[in-house]
């Protein structure tokens, strides 16, 4: 569903007001970060959406001006949107994007993955044994966890298609202990990290209780905002 221009303007101002995170993807560069809208400006008769420039942008992207950009976000009602634009200017702390001509809204839930705070773990059961693992990232649809290191005596018993139960997320949210019951899941992907030599396992969640879904949604939103503050050097993850 496409939105008329006045609704697009209102939506971007809402994103700015509530500091809602956006996923910024510079197409063709392999560059993807979280950012926020900082304003809407006009120049030479054209409108632009301004987003916060990530701290490492200048070193990671040598020449992004004129490149296509994709933005993805969920509004304050958690409805997913996406749009494409062009990076017109990079000035001060802002990236100027041509005001998107089209903004797609979908009632279908899209799952945005986000890095979790340090110390976040998942507990699960497989073939009668209890396991625990650090979490790399999470979405409403699944989670990416780190397998045992090469020094561990524990065999990597998990395999693609394996069913896991008693999934429970542990961590902290706003300095308070966090526990979210997820229940069942399935291993849908296994990758080996070339640096650590450890296996990463992607688990797709199955049915969750509505109250747990809401708790997970709040935790993901918290993690997005925390990651933005971390990249702005406003917090330390140590």
Domains of the chain in start order, with CATH, are 5-105 (2.30.110.10), 114-231 (2.40.10.220)
38: which residues sit within 8 A by CB, 6+ positions away? 16, 50, 51, 52, 93, 94
**64: closest CA among 85, 35, 42?**
85
pLDDT tens per residue across span 162-221: 999 999 999 998 888 999 999 999 999 998 877 767 889 999 998 788 899 889 988 988
Q: Under a CB-based contact definition with an 8 Å cutoff, are residues 123 and 179 in contact?
A: no
Between the alpha carbon of residue 9 and those of residues 16, 43, 48, the distances in Å are 11, 16, 10
pLDDT tens per residue across span 121-160: 999 999 888 989 999 999 888 999 988 765 555 555 788 9
Q: pTM of whole model > 0.85?
A: no
Q: How many other C-beta atoms are found inside a 10 Å radius of the C-beta of residue 65?
A: 12
234: its two tokens:
């406003």
Where on the phi/psi map is residue 229: left (φ > 0), alpha (ψ -120 to 50), or beta? alpha
How buried is residue 180: exposed, middle or buried, by Cβ count under 10 Å (0-12/13-18/19+)? buried
Unique residue bearing structure tokens 């561990």: 152
């Amino acid at each position: 569903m496409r939105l008329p221009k006045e609704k697009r303007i209102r939506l971007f101002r809402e994103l700015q007001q509530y500091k809602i995170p956006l996923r910024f993807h510079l197409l063709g560069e392999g560059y993807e970060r979280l950012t926020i809208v900082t304003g809407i400006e006009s120049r030479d008769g054209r409108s632009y959406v301004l987003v916060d420039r990530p701290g490492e942008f200048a070193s990671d992207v040598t020449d992004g001006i004129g490149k296509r950009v994709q933005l993805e976000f969920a509004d304050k009602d958690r409805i997913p949107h996406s749009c494409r634009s062009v990076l017109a200017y990079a000035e001060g702390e802002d990236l100027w994007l041509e005001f998107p001509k089209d903004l797609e809204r979908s009632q279908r839930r899209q799952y945005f993955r986000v890095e979790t705070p340090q110390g976040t773990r998942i507990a699960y059961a497989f073939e009668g044994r209890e396991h625990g693992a650090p979490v790399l990232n999470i979405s409403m649809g699944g989670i990416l966890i780190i397998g045992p290191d090469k020094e561990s005596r524990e065999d990597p018993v998990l395999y693609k298609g394996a069913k896991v139960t008693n999934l429970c997320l542990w961590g902290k949210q706003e300095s308070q202990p966090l526990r979210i019951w997820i229940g069942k899941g399935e291993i849908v992907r296994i990758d080996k990290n070339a640096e650590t030599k450890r296996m990463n396992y992607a688990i797709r969640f199955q049915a969750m209780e509505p109250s747990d879904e809401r708790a997970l949604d709040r935790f993901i939103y918290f993690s997005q905002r925390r990651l933005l503050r971390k990249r702005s050097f406003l917090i330390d993850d140590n």
